[in-house]
Amino acid sequence: MDGAIPIWFEIASYIFVVALLAVDFIIVHHRPHVPSMREAGLWVAFYTALAVAFGFVLMSFAGTDSGGEFFAGWLTEYSLSIDNLFVFIVIMARFAVPKKLQQEVLMVGIVIALVLRGIFILIGATLIANFVWIFWIFGAFLLYTAFHQAFRSHDDEEETENKLIGFLRRRITMSEHYDGLKLRTTWDGKRVFTPMLVLLMTIAATDVLFAFDSIPAIFGITTNAFIVFTANVFALMGLRQLYFLLGGLLERLVYLKYGIAAILAFIGVKLMLHALHENQLPFINGGKHVDWVPDIPTWLSLLVIVAAMFVATLASLIRGPKSTSAS
């Protein structure tokens, strides 16, 4: 039987997440290196297993609905995060980030993303609790994002990133070389900023853009702020290792954007249906709930998400190496 998530479980989960982030950051900081495919694969497997274990523990304390919502939310965020890796690759290349620094940069970027998403989640949860009509806005935004996702090219993404990077470079005097993770260094006898400052500002700006897509999407799965946050945490924690594991393989996943677009469109429609079901707008059905509208169950959302990513990945791999020229 489903029930409320115990408060002690939420507190324990937050403590666990902070401890996990701290340990991961310490390991990365004290062992800066380029992970091998085997090492990256083991870490991805570890964080995946950790997310699955958390989902089942949550299910045992709060019921199958909460567990199902976590798994659907986690898979949605993970899918969007994979697409975001394309942008991280562009940023790292544009800033010529040394390989040994990339792990630390990604870790800092993940922490920034978690803080920003935490803020967005609080704002989103507050809006949903007080304004049911916000589901209309979230749904419409996701449908627009799905269309944009399907028909944009990675050349468009690179052009956007180049404009942002150029804008920041023109306004900040900085050294030609990195000095570890330091934001300021001495260059030609003067104290100036390092490229790390602009790099982190760029990552933070893209994190904000990512949050605009991902937070409305997961609120289409669940309105529980705790589940939304933990799903984001587990999706982002595996992102750094996935960056090194996939590497050039990302360029072969040319149909990935269509799988993600399908997920966003599905959740957008789901939000629209939920908005009708919970309707309070006076010009729709006289301000009454539209009871005949179906409420899409979590298991169906989970099935659609898995199927969309599986088909997109399989189709990309079947197409073969020639797909790398596609955008």
C-alpha to C-alpha distances, 9 to 4, 120, 264, nearest whole angstrom: 11, 22, 30
* Structural domain contains residue 297: yes
Written as six digits, the tokens of 326 are 């596609």
Q: Rounded to the nearest 10 degrees, how much is the dihedral formed by the CA atoms of 164, 169, 171, 175?
A: 150
Question: How big, in percent rounded to 5, are the helix, strand and coil portions of the chain?
Answer: 75, 5, 20
Is residue 309 a contact partner of residue 259, using CB atoms and an 8 Å limit? yes
Cα separation of 63 and 2, whole Å?
A: 4
Asked if residues 197 and 94 have their Cβ atoms less than 8 Å apart, the reply is no
Is 214 or 45 the better-scoring residue by pLDDT? 45
Measured distance CA(284)–CA(135) in Å, rounded: 14
Eight-class DSSP state of 184: E
pLDDT at residue 249 in the model:
66
The angle, 0 to 180 degrees and rounded to 10, between the axes of the packed helices 7-30 and 37-62 is 170
Residue 326 confidence class, pLDDT cut points 50, 70, 90? very low
Model confidence at 54, pLDDT cuts 50, 70, 90, reads very high
DSSP state of 178: -
Asked if residue 236 has pLDDT above 90, the reply is no
Which pLDDT does position 324 carry in this prediction? 41
Mean pLDDT computed over every residue of the chain: 80
Is pLDDT of 323 > 50? no
pLDDT tens string 123-158: 888 888 777 778 888 888 888 888 877 776 655 555
CB 245 within 8 A of CB 82: no
Amino acid 153: pLDDT: 60
Q: What is the C-alpha separation between 139 and 137, in angstroms, rounded?
A: 5
For range 252-264, the mean pLDDT = 82
Q: What percent of the chain has pLDDT over 90?
A: 12
How far is the C-alpha of 30 from the C-alpha of 147, rounded, in Å? 43
Residue that is written with structure tokens 């991902």 in the block: 214
Residue 1 banded pLDDT, cuts 50, 70, 90: very low
How many domains in the chain?
1
Instruction: Give the pLDDT confidence score for residue 51 in this predicted structure.
Output: 93
Strands 190-193 and 184-187: antiparallel
9 or 296, which is more confident: 9
Which pLDDT score, from 0 to 100, does residue 221 have?
A: 87
Whether 279 shows a pLDDT value over 70: the answer reads no
Residue 325 has pLDDT above 60, yes or no: no
Q: Which of 123, 143, 4, 136 is nearest to 63 (CA)?
A: 4
CA 94 to chain centre: 22
Of 303, 299, 293, 291, nearest to 269 (Cα)?
A: 293
pLDDT at 160: 57
Would 2 be classed as within a structural domain? Answer: no
Residue 221, domain extent: 7-325
What tens digit of pLDDT does each residue of 92-130 get? 777 788 877 887 888 888 888 888 888 888 888 888 877
Q: Within a domain: residue 123?
A: yes
User: 177-199 pLDDT, tens per residue?
Assistant: 788 778 888 777 778 888 888 88
Q: How far apart, in whole angstroms, are the C-alpha atoms of residue 229 and residue 209?
A: 17
Q: What is the mean pLDDT of residues 238-248?
A: 74
Structure tokens given for 170: 């023109």
Residue 71 pLDDT grade (very low, low, confident, very high; cuts 50, 70, 90): very high
Give the pLDDT confidence of 6-51 residue by residue, as tens digits: 899 999 999 998 898 888 877 766 766 677 778 878 888 899 999 9
